[in-house]
Amino acid sequence: MTTAIAIALYLILGPIIGGLLAGIDRKLSARMQGRQGPPLLQPFYDLFKLFAKQVVVVNHVQDFLVGGFLVFIIFTGCLFFSGGDLLLVFFALTLAGIFFMMSACSANSPYSSMGAQRELLQMMAYEPMVLLVGIGFYMSTGIMSTGSFAVSDIIKSSTSNILYLPGFFIGFVFILAIKLRKSPFDLSTSHHAHQEMVKGLTTEISGNILALVELSHWYENVFLLGIVGLFIVNSTWWSVIIAVIVCVAVYFLEIFADMVFPRVKWEFMLKSTWLITLVTGVLNMIVLSVIR
C-alpha cells in the first residue's frame, strides 16, 4: 500500500519538484552572476513550449530510445522511493543512461556521436563511486544490524548512515556534479545556456522529444537528491527534515561549483574522479571492514 503511494507521489511530484529545482538553479546562477534571472517557473514554460513546437524527427529509433530513457529513469526512481534494492536501482540508472547515450549515437551526427562518446567516459568515471556507495550502505547497515541493500532497511537504521560513510558521502557529492551535468563536468551535454559541441547529446533532439529529455532529467535529479538524503535518513522522524536541509545545501554547493569552475577535459575528469573514488570510497571501505 505504501509502495503504491510512494510510487504515485514520485510520478506526480517528481517533475514538479524537479522543475522547481531547475528553476531555482537558473535563478540562483543568475543572481550569482549579478543578473535578475528568469522566473522560478521558467523550466515549466520551456517544457510547454517544447511540446508546442513542430516535430522534426531525425529517425524514429532516436525517439524510441529517448522514450526508453524516460521509462527507465521513472522505473529507477519508483524502485528507489518504494524501498527497493539499492544495487538494482543503480543498475537501472545505468541502463537509463545507456538508452540516452544510444539515442545520441543513433542520430549519426558528429556532434551527437562525440557527445555520446563523452557520455560513456562520464559513466566510466562515476560508475565505480556509485557502486561503492551501494556497497558502503550494505557495510554500514551490517555494522548497525544486519547488512542489507534494501532502501527500506537502510532508512530504518538506528543512526544516520553518514556517520559511518563520510568518505562515500564526499565522493558521491563529487560525482553528483557529473550526474547533474554541471561544470566542471558537463562534457557531454549541459543544461541550457552552456554550450559544448553545439549541444552534445541533445543536438539532434528537438520539440516534444527534447521535452521528454528535460522531464527525464528532472526525475533523475529528484532521485539523485534522494540518494543524498538516504545518507541522513534514519528511524527518527526529524532526520527527514535534516535530510531535506542537507539536500538543499548540496544542491546549492553544486550550483556554486557550476558558477565558479570552468569545464575540464575528459582526462582530468576521469583521473580526478577515480582519484577521489580511491581516496574517499576505498579508504572508507577499508576503515569500515576494520571496524567490523
Partner 1 sequence: MTSISKSPWLLHYDGSSCNGCDIEVLACLTPVYDVERFGIFNTGNPKHADIFLITGGINEQNAPVVKQIYEQMPHPKVVVAVGICACDGGIFKECYNILGGVDTVLPVDIFVPGCAARPEAIIDGVVKAIGLLQEKRNAAKKQNAAQKRSAGKERDAAKKEATK
Which residues in this chain contact partner 1 in the complex, by CB under 8 A? Answer: 26, 30, 33-39, 42, 45-46, 48-49, 52-56, 192-193, 195, 198-199, 202-207, 210
Residues 6+ apart with CB under 8 A from 173: 228, 250, 253, 254
Complex with partner 1: residue 18 or 281, whichever CB lies closer: 18
Beta bridge partners of 85: 150
Q: How far is the CB of 203 from partner 1 (least distance, A)?
A: 6
Q: How far is the CB of 34 from partner 1 (least distance, A)?
A: 4
Q: How far is the CB of 201 from partner 1 (least distance, A)?
A: 11
Distance CA 123, CA 175 (A): 10
Distance CA 13, CA 268 (A): 37
Complex with partner 1: residue 156 or 192, whichever CB lies closer: 192
Distance CA 9, CA 289 (A): 37
Dihedral sign of CA atoms 135, 92, 228, 118 in order: positive
Q: How far is the CB of 75 from partner 1 (least distance, A)?
A: 27
Complex with partner 1: residue 182 or 234, whichever CB lies closer: 182
Complex with partner 1: residue 115 or 167, whichever CB lies closer: 115
Provide the strand spans (E) within the chain: none
Q: How far is the CB of 85 from partner 1 (least distance, A)?
A: 38
Distance CA 9, CA 115 (A): 33
Complex with partner 1: residue 202 or 280, whichever CB lies closer: 202
